[in-house]
Chains A and B, each alone.
Chain A
């Protein structure tokens, strides 16, 4: 007879007790009532729950640099929460950040180093050992170094900051190559440039929404996807209800309602790309109504003269009445903030527009004031990362180098240019000119799928690192990222890989990078902070400092920056403030709609698409899950005979995609919008073959000033196809039908 396992035995007991054991249980049930009744809901007194260990580290799902606390039990990460010590997010965390666990325990992670076996792109890889992987790569790099061809090694990473960035830089420098770039689609190139023009510094200042009375946002989705959403959300909450009876007003100007638009008190649409013109119109009203009395009044007067409300009204589609009213409100309710982002950043006149928006801040005199724009002090260690961001034009240069066989080895880490560049850039084609494409990635994304060698990296929850949040919070802070669990798979941290490669290659590299472990490297780097920035306490050595920094998850210094006086801009600067009409790819007649691709809170630029929690998270505005869609105004849809679920063919001069229509009530009738993030051909079971990537039909329009991709400057036409699918969404009817669900007087607007 077979052995009866304990499990089977328990089953028998279970089955028996239904009938035969009833009497026994009856007896029991009358005695130990609570234990029998509620074992799952209220554990008995003698049951001691396991003790959770919390590790503080940094979220790296987006570039905001929030601090997180990871709850672990028995060596497994259970939950990610915001680190309440961290000034960026103050214990709070967005959906994407919390879904980091899905990245850590993702079933589709690359589990060991891979070597390509078949044709590139055939997805045929064999597993190899780390030794083999590092030796292969190390010898190739070493050979180039010996042949003095180190400059043909290119390194392309995502927006990495802190000492890992420095590690890359040192490594590349020692290799003799200055070809180290970041590519991050979400990087606000235009904002940096505009700030450089007006403030003279290529930084993102601290927008003090917390204390503002009026937030005039030109397309910046600061509650959803813009720069540091959790921090701005905290500030927004404070602005609304945190200051007693004083409730700040939010105005959002954009062609398609974003999450921030939904929460604004007023949502105003203007023609796509004319946000800067509108800002100039406001400036015109402010100047003419004597709202600004600075010494450079006359120069300003000159600068705004062409933008009279009637002209601007014609250009932007916003009524004169509204322009004057907004200008008056903005001046009256100081401190107020004017911020720009989102689609404003995606036009050919983006830098000019954002400069104009900055000018509004200047004119209202909120610079350096609470509730206005506050400039951050020097960070704890220099943040070079911004300078390395390659915009579209610079990426095209890289692509040209690749095509011209100038790139021998391309190392790609945590960035996915195949997905995040328009095909017009011909990145994939250029890869033919690259003999060795190495991907350092945790996931088999589109770029990794084309790699010759794949070195799987730890996720951020398994690796060491550090970070200085950008934008800062008004005083210098830095935080350390530490591993919270043992590696789930046979992967290595990016720092360890670089250090190992340095030792493999030899020469001056081991001298420049003498460490073997990232942890040691970090410790040594932080010693500098300890020595330079912390008042030396005789009793606390570096080890104590390090431990304390790890435990709290963040290091900070009570130091603010002395105010920069912006009494006066140079005439030259003021003269430069000029916004032209945006241009679009495609003729208006053939392509009647402007396509607005937008970042979603769930997938951001597409990196979140492999996380099941995010795939299952209803889109905040539409409640759609698991797919892509085309948003269009119900009136437009009505005119074209389109209803929800009709598959549309969206055609631009660069290509065609198909996606189902979704009638979105808050979008201009002359634009259509599509979320970025879906349409992955690789990237794991949750992301693969789902929806479309609107990036693939973007025309290669660039910003007039800085050459960044103008990703909202493509015109399209839409054609209804025969096909019809049911859009998967959780919403039923999205009108209250007169029911008092939102409180009694919420109906009137």
Chain B
């Protein structure tokens, strides 16, 4: 844009720290609303379910896995782009990453936390969840490391740890900036957060190296996490789930949904926190291109699934496929195809790609589609397995729907806390992209 004037270093500090240090009433209202919804729609139904048993959900003999698990995949998926994208772009040294990566990583962290909640909600006896981690317990038993669910436990623990460290380490210099801009208790707290960061050459040097290694670790991790999540399904014999393509399918879907999530979050941050000078068209453009690529891969895998299902001719595969395409949940299937395969093709047009509002809507649609996809996985395959006589049907109960809605509020609440805790745009990395301060040009 022509009227764009590059900010000075001091302006960067001022603009970004303002989002952290100045809290208006609008923030508190939004925060109050999301926190209330999180409590009313998420925690209270959960406590109720805890009390009466999992029967509070719509799951039944015909479908023992329901929206809790599909939401779990969704949130894990949403978490996928942030850290992964940030790490990939860090390693490939793409400059445009710097303004957006912090919020993307935050999205990872908090959607991962939300996903972890769904694991707990999903359990029949959540009060014994500690038996699934290798700590001593009354039964004297250790977890079964042959279980794909335990891969999950390991993967999510690792992913949560690695992403927290990744985002935290990347923020240490910014915590120092917050510390320097504040007084009193906040100053003391941020002194601790920033480890007493001064910005010496040695500190920068070590951080740089460590950060690169974190990035190196995080990339294969992120790929493995969603592969492992897919194995929860693909390792079963269930027709429609027992596919080798499932791991790449899930990883691709996850990155897809995560990238769309980044667009959504970017849009909101830009609008609500007046960060127009930092989150710019180039970001939207690049993310848009990424979305197109991902949507094409995603559509390709979907077509592949239809193709193999149709070609196999096996009653199991074919039945599962026809039910998905033409059964009770067929409208959801076609909605998903529309939202995730067709609508994103609009991004090919530069005009659409550069429109914040349209991109925002598309990104939301993609994630609705992805949420549907995850729901279809549990609701179309599991109730119709091998024995036709045991075929059933699944529809989520009010408790499940409420918890699903509540999970979005929970995510929003966590994110709102985050933006008051950590600068949502990396101060020092934005400065890096600016014109260096030199006397001699």
Q: Is A731 an interface residue (CB 8 A)?
A: yes
Given contacts A36-B141, A37-B141, 8 further A-B contacts (CB under 8 A): A18-B130, A22-B136, A25-B137, A25-B140, A26-B140, A732-B388, A734-B388, A737-B319
Is A739 at the interface (CB under 8 A from chain B)? yes
Contact yes or no, A732 B62, CB < 8 A? yes
Asked whether, in the complex, the Cβ of B391 is within 8 Å of the Cβ of A29, the reply is no
CB within 8 A of B388: which of A21, A28, A735? A735
- Does any Cβ of A come within 8 Å of B29's Cβ? no
Partner of B140, one of A37, A732, A741: A37
Instruction: Choose one: B136, B316, B386; the contact of A29 (CB below 8 Å).
Output: B136
Residues in A with CB closer than 8 Å to B389 are 731-734
Query: Across the interface, do A733 and B388 meet the contact criterion of CB distance under 8 Å?
Result: yes
* Neighbouring B residues of A18 by C-beta, 8 Å: 130, 137-138
Smallest CB gap from A24: residue in B: B136
Q: Separation in Å of the B203 CB from the closest CB of chain A? A: 39
Judged by a CB distance under 8 angstroms, whether A33 is at the interface is yes
B387 within 8 A of A: yes
Cβ contacts under 8 Å, A739 to chain B: 315-316, 386-388
Known A22-B135, A25-B136, A738-B315; contact A732-B390, beta-carbon cutoff 8 A: yes
Nearest chain B CB to A17's CB is how many angstroms away? 5
Residues of A within 8 Å of B137, CB to CB, are 18, 22, 25
Report 7 cross-chain contacts, Cβ distance below 8 Å, ordered by A residue.
Answer: A26-B136, A30-B140, A732-B391, A737-B315, A737-B319, A739-B315, A739-B316
Q: Is A23 an interface residue (CB 8 A)?
A: yes
Q: Chain B nearest CB: distance from A241 CB in Å?
A: 24
Q: How far is A734 from B135 in the complex, measured between Cα atoms in Å?
A: 47
Is B139 engaged at the interface, CB distance under 8 Å to the other chain? yes
Contacts of B140 in A (CB 8 A): 25-26, 28-30, 33, 36-37
Q: Mark A6-33, 1 if CB is under 8 A from B, else 0.
A: 0000000010011001110110111001
Shortest CB distance B54–A (Å) = 20
Smallest Cβ distance from B8 to chain A, in angstroms? 54
Interface check B392, CB cutoff 8 A? yes
Instruction: Give the distance in Å from the alpha carbon of A739 to the alpha carbon of B389 in the complex.
Output: 11
Q: Are A17 and B138 in contact (CB under 8 A)?
A: yes
Indicate whether A572 reaches chain B with its CB closer than 8 angstroms: no
CB distance from A661 to the nearest CB of B (A): 20
> Is there an interface contact between B315 and A37, defined as CB atoms closer than 8 Å?
no
* Nearest CB of chain B from residue A735's CB, rounded to whole Å: 6
Q: Chain A residues near B319: list those with CB within 8 A.
A: 737
Task: Identify which of residues 731-749 in chain A touch chain B, using a CB-to-CB cut-off of 8 Å.
Answer: 731-739, 741
Interface residues of B in 116-152 (CB under 8 A from A): 130, 135-141
Q: A18-B130, A739-B386, A739-B388 are in contact. Are A23 and B136 (CB under 8 A)?
A: yes
What's the minimum C-beta distance from B327 to chain A, rounded to whole angstroms? 12
Give, as a whole number of angstroms, the nearest-CB distance from B69 to chain A. Answer: 21
Indicate which residue in A14, A26, A741 contacts B387 across the interface (CB closer than 8 Å).
A741
Instruction: Digitize B369-398: 1 where CB-to-A-CB distance is under 8 Å, 0 elsewhere.
Output: 000000000000000101111111000000
Give A22 to B133 CA distance when docked, in angstroms: 13
Given contacts A733-B388, A734-B389, A738-B315, contact A36 B139 (CB under 8 A): yes
- How many A-B pairs have beta carbons closer than 8 Å: the answer is 56
Q: Which B residues touch A28, using CB under 8 A?
A: 140
Top 5 closest pairs, chain A to chain B, by CB: A29-B140, A732-B391, A26-B136, A733-B388, A36-B140
Contact of A733 with B139 in the complex, beta carbons under 8 Å: no
Write out the residue numbers on chain A whose beta carbons fall within 8 Å of the beta carbon of B136. 22-23, 25-26, 29
Beta-carbon nearest neighbor of A19 in chain B: B130
* Beta-carbon nearest neighbor of B141 in chain A: A37
Q: Select from chain A the residue with minimum beta-carbon distance to B386.
A: A739
Distance in angstroms between the alpha carbons of A509 and B136 in the assembled complex = 76
Closest to B128 in A: A18
Q: Which residue of B lies closest to A36 (CB)?
A: B140
Query: Nearest Cβ distance between residue B240 and chain A, in whole angstroms?
Result: 14
Instruction: Verify B388–A37 contact, CB threshold 8 A.
Output: no
Q: How far is the CB of A19 from chain B (nearest CB, A)?
A: 9
Instruction: Give the complex CA separation of A689 and B316 in angstroms.
Output: 41
**With A and B bound together, what is the CA distance between A735 and B387 in angstroms?**
10
CA of A481 to CA of B371 in the docked complex: distance in angstroms?
Answer: 64
Q: Which residues of B contact A21 (CB under 8 A)?
A: 138
Closest to A31 in B: B140
Min CB distance B265 to A, Å, is 38
What is the chain A residue whose CB lies nearest that of B316?
A739
User: Do residues B315 and A732 form an inter-chain contact, with CB atoms below 8 A?
Assistant: no
* Inter-subunit contact B141/A733 (CB<8 Å): no
Say which residue of A25, A30, A734 sits within 8 Å of B138 (CB atoms): A25
Q: Which residues of A contact B139 (CB under 8 A)?
A: 29, 36-37
| 1/0 contact string of A683-721 vs chain B (CB within 8 Å) | 000000000000000000000000000000000000000
Q: With a CB–CB cut-off of 8 A, which chain A residues contact B390?
A: 732
| Residues on B with beta carbons closer than 8 Å to the beta carbon of A736 | 388
Give CA–CA (A40, B315) in the complex, Å.
Answer: 40
Cβ–Cβ < 8 Å partners of A733 in chain B: 388-389, 391
Select from chain A the residue with minimum beta-carbon distance to B392. Answer: A732
Q: Which residues of the partner chain B approach A22 to less than 8 Å between Cβ atoms?
A: 135-137
Complex interface: chain A residues within 8 A of B141 (CB)? 29, 36-37
Which B residues are CB-close (under 8 A) to A17? 138
Which among A23, A37, A738 has the highest number of chain B CB atoms within 10 Å? Answer: A738
Q: How far is the CA of A30 from the CA of B62 in the complex (A)?
A: 39
Distance between A26 CB and nearest chain B CB, rounded to angstroms:
4
**How far is it, in angstroms, between the C-alpha of A738 and the C-alpha of B386 when the chains are bound?**
11
B137 to chain A, nearest CB (A): 7
The interface bits of chain A over 28-56 (1 if a CB of B lies within 8 angstroms of the residue's CB, else 0) are: 11100100110000000000000000000
Which residues of B lie under 8 Å from residue A26 when comparing CB positions? 136, 140
**Could you tell me the distance in whole angstroms from the C-beta of A163 to the nearest C-beta in chain B?**
47
Give the CA-CA distance A111 to B389 in the complex, in Å: 42
Chain A residues near B391 (CB-CB < 8 A): 732-733
Distance (whole angstroms) from the CB of B319 to the closest CB of chain A: 6
Question: Which residue of the partner chain B has the closest CB to A26?
Answer: B136
CB-CB nearest in chain A for B131? A18
Chain B residues whose C-beta falls within 8 Å of the C-beta of A30 in the assembled complex: 140
Residue of B nearest to A34 (CB): B140
Residues of A within 8 A of B392 (CB): 732
Residues of A close to B386: CB separation below 8 A: 739
A33, A736, A737 interface centre (most CB from chain B within 10 Å): A737
A739 to B316: give the CA distance in the assembly, Å: 8
The interface residues of chain A lying within 8 Å CB-to-CB of B387 are: 739, 741
Nearest CB in chain A to that of B127: its residue: A18
B280-321: CB near A (< 8 Å → 1, else 0) gives 000000000000000000000000000000000001100100
**Nearest residue, chain B, Cβ from A39:** B139
Residue of B nearest to A736 (CB): B388
CA distance A732 to B139 in the complex (A): 38
Q: Which residues of B contact A25 (CB under 8 A)?
A: 136-138, 140
- A33 cross-chain contacts in B, Cβ below 8 A: 140
Chain B nearest CB: distance from A364 CB in Å? 40
Bound CA–CA A23/B135 (angstroms) = 10
CB-nearest residue of chain A to B130: A18
Output the least CB separation between B221 and chain A (Å).
Answer: 29
For A51-66 the 0/1 string (1 means CB < 8 A from B) is: 0000000000000000
A36 to B138, CA, bound (A): 8
Query: Which of B137, B141, B390 has the most chain A CB atoms closer than 10 A to its own CB?
Result: B137
A736 to B141, CA, bound (A): 42
Of A23, A36, A735, chain B has the most CB atoms within 10 Å of the CB of A36
Q: Closest CB-CB distance, A108 to chain B, in whole Å?
A: 25
Least Cβ–Cβ distance between B329 and chain A, in angstroms: 16
Distance between Cα atoms of A662 and B77 in the complex (Å): 44
Residues of A within 8 A of B315 (CB): 737-739
CA gap between A738 and B316 in the complex, in Å: 9
B353 nearest CB across to chain A (Å): 47
How far is it, in angstroms, between the C-alpha of A735 and the C-alpha of B315 when the chains are bound? 12
Tell me the minimal C-beta distance from A43 to chain B in angstroms: 16
In the bound assembly, the distance between CA atoms of A736 and B386 in angstroms comes to: 10
Return B6 CB to nearest CB of chain A, in Å: 55
Interface centre among B140, B319, B389 (most CB of A within 10 A): B140
